A and B are shown apart, each in its own frame.
Chain A
Amino acid sequence: MDILRFITAGSVDDGKSTLIGRLLYDSKSILADQLEAVERSSKGRTGGEIDLALLTDGLRAEREQGITIDVAYRYFSTPVRKFIIADAPGHIQYTRNMITGASHADAIIILIDARQGVLEQTRRHSIIASMLRIGHVIVAINKMDLVDFSEARFNEIQQEYLGVASSLGMKDIRFIPICALSGDNIVDPSERMPWYVEGTLLNMLEKLELSGDTNLEHPRFQVQYVIRPQTAELHDYRGYAGRIASGVYRRGDQVRVLPSGRESRIERIEIAGVEVEEAFASQSVVMLLTDDLDISRGDLIVHPDDLPFVSQETDVLLCWLDERPLSVGNKYMLQHNSRLVRVVVREISHRIDVNTLEHQPVEGAVRLNEVVQARLKMASPLAFDAYEDLRATGHAILVDETGHSTVAAVMFQ
């Protein structure tokens, strides 16, 4: 059993909450008391049938206004896989919440209303998914009952969407016709769409091949914490704790520490105090080196023949997440996983319209939810990768130095 994290994109009107409610309900992940609570609320609101959308509503304001404001996480599992759903709002004013949810996702379900076809928001959600390099896209064409379960309409929307996707460089795109309200093709196959034979949405989610998504080729390990027991028996123990971002490390490997550039060899790798021969991407480990180097939190340990960029200035894609605007010359803290470095925004070359991918000139400041191409200058050299090559070492955030809030998502180019 492994874990699939996916995000659902679409607005309330597309039936996003109904879809999630349906997945949870039909996969028997909703327990009796939770259902009872929804039944009670449904009576007060819809006056009759259970409103599955209510299963996903969280905060009071959201229930009152019938909207999703923030990302909520839902959990369910089948015998083959554990699923974590990031239920994110779809409206443009919540783009930052969608980016937050999308940053954790292996896959995205993009909902399209069969009557409407591809809309501006479909394009926007797809653009965000491609910017964040979500590996798998499932286009769920919903409300098929309202277009008489027409195969022709399904094919038409599929062609329309492929037109959008072709410019985005998305790799794995699948299509499925559904009716979330009645549950057609969600967990149980639809009897009303016999022309569609590729299984149900749940099948699709269970079968997405994830093993190729973890990069095992390029070793990247960033030090989070230095373990020094300083006890009598472990007097000289100096272990570098962290989670392997990508690649495989073995005992005896020659390694280089960045940004200093010093080299050593791996003497030992431990997982929870137990020595292992090798360790690989996404394992939390402790590494010990043969030489006593000056290594601290934020340093990157790599193989000398497979190096990331080391630079003090670089181009990035910035998603602006803060109410206070961004202007050229502003200074921030850049948090690159465990490394903190001061940066200044040297240049903002253009804005990228998240609805069209069009480049637009930036006049004045950059505002909340805008995506721009910018150039950062770091106070000291930083070791990083391009986001499109290695997600884990290719991303960072900007933190407001005085307010401490997270103000931007950064993707290195």
Chain B
Amino acid sequence: MNSNVNRNMDHLRQLESESIYILREVAAQFERPALLFSGGKDSITLVRLAQKAFAPGRFPFPLVHIDTGHNFQEALDYRDALAREVGAELIVRKVEDTIRQRGLTEPRGKFASRNWLQTHTLLDTISEFGFDACIGGARRDEEKARAKERIFSVRNDFGEWDPKLQRPELWDVYNGRIHKGENVRVFPISNWTELDVWSYIRAEEIPLPSIYFAHEREVLVHEGQLIAVSPFIEIEPGDLVVRRSVRYRTVGDMTCTAAVESRAVTLDQVVDEIMATRISERGETRIDDRVTEAAMEDRKKGGYF
């Protein structure tokens, strides 16, 4: 090889290499790690990264889905197919069961979201299987509390995040040592932005659930947001229900994820739309963050993802 060979990595390959490094640290440092899988584009990206990190070995994490019961069918079908394809164990635990077993109060209201209740199911699942690390697809560009969270985020027995007691995280040395009962939430794509994720999906040609592309759908127009009409939300007299060409920028619960108007049917078109947008992913699509200025901070302190 001559010395003029280009040994610079572009930003996507740098991010990929960093994430693979983190995933390998998880596999090496923990006894029983799991990958939290929602069917959303971020967790789909994580699965691809983990496949690359451990090829040609077996996929070392079970996929864990905390199922609110308010899912898009397309995301569920995708989840099942992906788990089969990568040969990963799929663990599904339902929020509905937790509500029944633990006598929790089912949320009420127009967009009764079980999003908060997922924390209960998640913590039960962690103790049922003895998971010591849970890998999640959260990114720091999403939200201001996430901007401060470590890549290895130690949680106590209640899954609680204490932002004032975070371990210093120096260089790329990740300290995953914990006490029994504690667990670590690991965020390998912390440093990726929404556009990075989309650009990577395009570069890698990763298939996505169809709802990420423009399709016709009945939506309720609520405070400027478009919410899919489903059995999980209440339609009242006077509500504006229309048929629009929409796609999802993020896929979560049907009750708390809004769609965006779109004509983008290919990944190139989606990436173009994302680059042109003037509204953030959470701002445009998440109904649950709007409650208070510190909504995410509070949920994380309470054991959320």
B1 interface residue (CB < 8 Å to A)? yes
Q: Are B28 and A284 in contact, CB atoms less than 8 angstroms apart?
A: no
- Which of B10-18, B88-96, B127-135 contacts the other chain? B10-18
Q: In the complex, what distance in Å separates the CA atom of A70 from the CA atom of B161?
A: 14
- Contacts of B1-55 to chain A: CB distance below 8 A: 1, 7-11, 13-17, 20-21, 24-25, 27-28, 51-55
- Which of B76-84, B138-146, B237-245 contacts the other chain? B138-146
Cβ contact of B171, chosen from A32, A104, A286, cutoff 8 A: A104
Q: Are B173 and A237 in contact, CB atoms less than 8 angstroms apart?
A: no
A60 interface residue (CB < 8 Å to B)? yes
Q: Are A229 and B25 in contact, CB atoms less than 8 angstroms apart?
A: no
Given A227-B54, A243-B21, A100 contacting B169 (CB threshold 8 A): yes
Closest A residue by C-beta to B20: A284
Q: In the complex, what distance in Å separates the CA atom of A63 from the CA atom of B163?
A: 14
Q: Cβ of A227: which chain B residues have Cβ within 8 Å of it?
A: 54-57
Q: Cβ of B54: which chain A residues have Cβ within 8 Å of it?
A: 225, 227, 241
- Which of B106-114, B210-218, B228-236, B275-283 contacts the other chain? B275-283
Residues of A in contact (CB 8 Å), total 76
Cβ contact of A250, chosen from B1, B24, B144, B195, cutoff 8 A: B1
Q: Are B9 and A270 in contact, CB atoms less than 8 angstroms apart?
A: no
Q: In the complex, what distance in Å separates the CA atom of A243 from the CA atom of B14?
A: 11
Q: Are A224 and B284 in contact, CB atoms less than 8 angstroms apart?
A: no
- Which of B61-69, B117-125, B175-183, B260-268 contacts the other chain? B175-183
B203 interface residue (CB < 8 Å to A)? no
Cβ contact of A248, chosen from B7, B53, B196, cutoff 8 A: B7
Q: Are B284 and A33 in contact, CB atoms less than 8 angstroms apart?
A: yes
Q: Cβ of B1: which chain A residues have Cβ within 8 Å of it?
A: 248, 250, 277-278
Q: Cβ of B14: which chain A residues have Cβ within 8 Å of it?
A: 2-3, 282
Q: Are A73 and B8 in contact, CB atoms less than 8 angstroms apart?
A: no
- Contacts of B190-239 to chain A: CB distance below 8 A: 190-191, 193, 195-196
Kindly provide the distance from the CB of A324 to the nearest chain B CB, expressed in whole angstroms: 13
Q: In the complex, what distance in Å separates the CA atom of A41 from the CA atom of B293?
A: 9
Kindly provide the distance from the CB of B194 to the nearest chain A CB, expressed in whole angstroms: 10
Given A58-B144, A73-B147, A273-B56, A397 contacting B24 (CB threshold 8 A): no
If over half of B's interface residues share one DSSP class (helix, strand or loop), that class is named, otherwise mixed; here it is loop
Q: How large is the interface on B (under 10, 10 to 19, 20 to 34, 35 or more residues)?
A: 35 or more
Cβ contact of B28, chosen from A224, A229, A282, cutoff 8 A: A224
What string of 1s and 0s marks CB contacts (under 8 Å) between A162-197 and chain B?
A: 000000000000000000000000000000000000
Q: Are A395 and B278 in contact, CB atoms less than 8 angstroms apart?
A: no
B253 interface residue (CB < 8 Å to A)? no
Q: Are A297 and B168 in contact, CB atoms less than 8 angstroms apart?
A: no
Cβ contact of A100, chosen from B11, B145, B168, B278, cutoff 8 A: B168
Kindly provide the distance from the CB of A92 to the nearest chain B CB, expressed in whole angstroms: 16
Q: In the complex, what distance in Å separates the CA atom of A333 from the CA atom of B1?
A: 41
What string of 1s and 0s marks CB contacts (under 8 Å) between A381-411 and chain B?
A: 0000000000110011101000011100100
Kindly provide the distance from the CB of B289 to the nearest chain A CB, expressed in whole angstroms: 10
A1 interface residue (CB < 8 Å to B)? yes
Q: Are A211 and B175 in contact, CB atoms less than 8 angstroms apart?
A: no
- Which of A6-14, A74-82, A121-129, A148-156 contacts the other chain? A74-82
Sampled A-B contacts (8; CB under 8 Å):
A72-B144, A96-B168, A100-B170, A227-B56, A273-B55, A284-B24, A404-B178, A406-B167
Interface residues of B (CB under 8 A from A): 1, 7-11, 13-17, 20-21, 24-25, 27-28, 51-58, 140-141, 144-145, 147-148, 163-164, 166-173, 175, 177-179, 190-191, 193, 195-196, 277-280, 283-284, 293-294, 297
